[in-house]
Chain A
Amino acid sequence: MTRRSDRIFKVISVIISLIVVILCLFPLLWMTLAGFKPEREVMAVPLKLLPSEWTLQSFDKLFNDKNNDYFQALKATLYVASLSSILVLIVNSMAAYAFARLEFTFKKLLWRIIILTMYIPGMTILISSFVLVSQMGILDTYTVLIVPGLASAYEIFFFRQFFLNMPMALEESALIDGASRFRIYLTIFLPNAKSPLVIIGIGAFLRYWNSFVWPVMTISDKSKYQVMQIIRSFRNAYSSKFGVVMAASTIAAIIPITLFLFFQKYIIRGIVLSGIK
């Protein structure tokens, strides 16, 4: 009897799952379709489900219209997000190694201070951070976009957990061979930390790629505009031309989605493993 109810439950699960998947993906599909529709069909009444002809009109406007800086913003954001994710990995994994594997004076105190920063909400320090960077004179630079978000207590913690569990034998034999601690971190710990590197790296890329408030506050130089800033400005500039806005959004969404799909195994396993704690 439980067998049968089990099967019924499984069938129901499959049906519900399909509905949920459609609800999750349909908005993205609708956005993409709108990007390929001729402008008059994007907001057509009655509805046009599929474009009568697939056209690159909106994308063309996005990249070739002299009045908008979309392509430049795409390049600037790609630059900021890729460079930042590499720096995030270096900065946080290095600190994590020291906390996981080395003994030093004031270690406990320094660790407490780092953990303390986890409890400070972003919105509380947003305005004073802006005041600080404007006093430092780094508004409108790549530095202001990249540096303030590089270190994160959560990410140090994540790496540390992983490093704590690495076997000591690895380190021991390298030490006997005369390797320095930094060398051990570089040549033994990092190459063996593929999964946290992927998880944190992708997370950092998304954080920078999707960031909105901070660029809006700190960047007014159009050559350094970030993608989300541009999309916001499009909302007003092309308020009657949703095709262009949807084309811009499609490209802004495709990059993180591709990255995620490429590394989905690591990311989903990462959630499944870290959720257990």
Chain B
Amino acid sequence: MGSKGAKKTTRNRLPTSKADHITAYLMILPAFAILAVFVLYPLYMAVTKSFTNWSFYGETQFVGFENYRQVIRNAYFQKSLVNSLKFVLILVPSQIFLAFLFAHAVKKLTGGFGTFVKVSIYVPTVIAGVVASVIFIFILDYRAGLVNQMLKVFGLPRMAYANNPLLATIAVCLVVIWLGFGYNTLVFYAGLLNIPKEYYEAAQVDGANAFEQLIKITLPSLKNIFVLVSINLVTGSLQLYDIPYMLTGGGPAQTTQTPMIYLLNNFRDMSKNMGLTLSGAILMMIIIGLCSSVVFRIISSEKSMDA
């Protein structure tokens, strides 16, 4: 990543002696070996096996793109992709909106109270998806959960998220948002701190109102942050697993089944062709890569319009 430029600007390197070449290799060896064995080799394995009908039983044969054709045509895989799209469309804008908005409030807070708020909103971020799911299963319980008992007090109908596709989706999103909110907010907050005050002062002198300042100063200045957060959120939403698995098990009627739940269910079913499951996994890598680059393009081009 820009190693050429970095080299010139930070000439922070002393000449390395011959013997130190060996030191260097020994120092990168553990990290490199682990990445090679547990990341690159599994990728190679997934790619090559995805072109075969490999399973726990029987001979392995090369089948070309047959697995890809089948998995793309598979109704459950298709449905999981649609669900994923649904999660991306709900989770990415809503999380960005909430975090961006609240970051402005956090910026206004000073001293001990400011620290208290920053620390408090970050606490859920360190909680496991499994624990968060269990807490919300408890809170959303149909009979005795906090939410439904409150609804009853106000004379409203109780919500059975387990049987209702819309509510199930909302429940999953609620947990995801609760878990990620603090981190996203602090990232936006960091971005806001970094915009020079003089920009806003100059704009005020020019008579720009709050909305104009937002469009002309804040949004363009935070372009990189928007790229970073959006790509994180898109790739995260496409790989959802723990939370829908615990909360709804992918139901009702597969409406919250994500590609990862689908692939792992498929994988556990020993009779299924593993090549098929692996081709699904490779397709997901391509989809995640494409979505990230689309997000990157959209946000980058928006900046060039302003500049």
Which residues of A pack against B, CB within 8 Å?
2, 9-10, 12-14, 16-17, 20-21, 23-25, 27-28, 30-31, 34, 43-47, 90-92, 94-95, 97-105, 107-108, 110-111, 113-115, 117, 119-129, 131-132, 147-151, 153, 156, 164-168, 171-172, 175, 180-182, 185, 206, 209-210, 212-213, 228, 231-232, 235, 242, 245-246, 249, 252-253, 256-257, 259-261, 264, 267-268, 271-273, 275-277
- A150–B141 Cα gap in the complex (Å)? 38
- Find chain A residues with CB under 8 A from B34 CB: 91, 147-148, 150-151
Q: Which of B179-206 contact A (CB under 8 A)?
A: 181-183, 186-187, 189-191, 193-194, 204
CB distance from B259 to the nearest CB of A (A): 7
**Which B residues touch A165, using CB under 8 A?**
10, 12
Interface of chain B, main secondary structure: helix
A211 to B284, CA, bound (A): 21
Mask: chain B, 47-63; 1 = CB below 8 Å from A; 0 = not = 00100000000000000
Distance in angstroms from A191 CB to nearest chain B CB is 17
> A44 is contacted by which of B139, B144, B183, B239 (Cβ under 8 Å)?
B144
A267–B46 contact, CB under 8 A?
A: no
Q: Is the CB of A95 within 8 A of B32?
A: yes
The minimal Cβ–Cβ distance linking B4 to chain A, given in whole angstroms, is 9
Q: For chain B residues 43-79, which have a beta carbon within 8 Å of chain A?
A: 43, 45-46, 49
Check if B246 sits within 8 Å of A232, measured CB to CB.
Answer: yes
Contacts of A182 in B (CB 8 A): 23, 26-27
Min CB gap B154→A, angstroms = 13
The answer on a CB contact under 8 Å between A45 and B149 is yes
> CA of A209 to CA of B169 in the docked complex: distance in angstroms?
27
* Those 8 A-B pairs whose CB atoms lie nearest each other, nearest first: A275-B190, A210-B128, A95-B31, A43-B144, A151-B34, A125-B42, A13-B108, A13-B105
Contact status A43-B141, CB under 8 Å: yes
Where chain A touches its partner, the secondary structure class is helix
Q: Do residues B41 and A228 form an inter-chain contact, with CB atoms below 8 A?
A: no
Chain A residues with CB under 8 Å of B241's CB are 123, 213
List 26 A-B residue pairs with CB atoms under 8 Å apart, sorted by A's residue number.
A13-B106, A21-B117, A28-B123, A30-B139, A90-B30, A94-B28, A94-B30, A95-B31, A97-B27, A102-B23, A103-B16, A104-B21, A108-B3, A123-B260, A125-B281, A132-B38, A148-B38, A151-B30, A151-B32, A175-B14, A212-B129, A256-B127, A264-B122, A271-B190, A273-B190, A275-B187
Asked if B46 and A121 make an inter-chain contact with CB atoms under 8 angstroms apart, the answer reads: no
CB distance A117 to B35 under 8 Å?
Answer: yes
CB contact list, B110-128 vs A, under 8 A: 113, 116-124, 126-128
Q: How far is the CA of A150 from the CA of B119 in the complex (A)?
A: 28
Interface-side segment among B130-138, B160-168, B211-219, B295-303 = B130-138
A180-B42 in contact given A9-B108, A212-B242, A213-B242 (Cβ < 8 Å): no
Q: Which residues of B in the span 278-298 have a Cβ within 8 Å of any Cβ on A?
A: 278, 281-282, 284-285, 288-289
Question: Contact at A156–B138, with CB atoms within 8 Å?
Answer: no
Q: In the complex, are the beta carbons of B191 and A275 less than 8 A apart?
A: yes
The answer to whether A102 and B24 have CB atoms under 8 Å apart is: yes
Place the interface of chain B in its size category.
35 or more
The answer to whether A47 touches B146 (Cβ under 8 A) is yes
A164 and B32 contact, CB distance less than 8 A? no
Quick one: closest A residue to B286, CB to CB? A124
Interface residues of B (CB under 8 A from A): 1, 3, 6, 10, 12-16, 20-21, 23-28, 30-32, 34-35, 37-43, 45-46, 49, 102, 104-106, 108-109, 113, 116-124, 126-132, 134-139, 141, 143-144, 146, 149-150, 178, 181-183, 186-187, 189-191, 193-194, 204, 224-225, 228, 235, 238-239, 241-242, 246, 259-260, 263-264, 267, 274, 277-278, 281-282, 284-285, 288-289
Determine how close the nearest CB of chain B comes to the CB of A136; give it in whole angstroms: 9
Distance in Å from the Cβ of B162 to the closest Cβ of chain A? 12
Q: B91 to chain A: closest CB distance in Å?
A: 17
List of B residues within 8 angstroms of A23 by Cβ: 178
**CB atoms of B14 and A171 under 8 A apart:** yes
Evaluate contact between A45 and B24: CB separation under 8 angstroms.
no
List chain B residues, Cβ under 8 A from A127.
46, 263-264, 267, 274, 277-278, 281
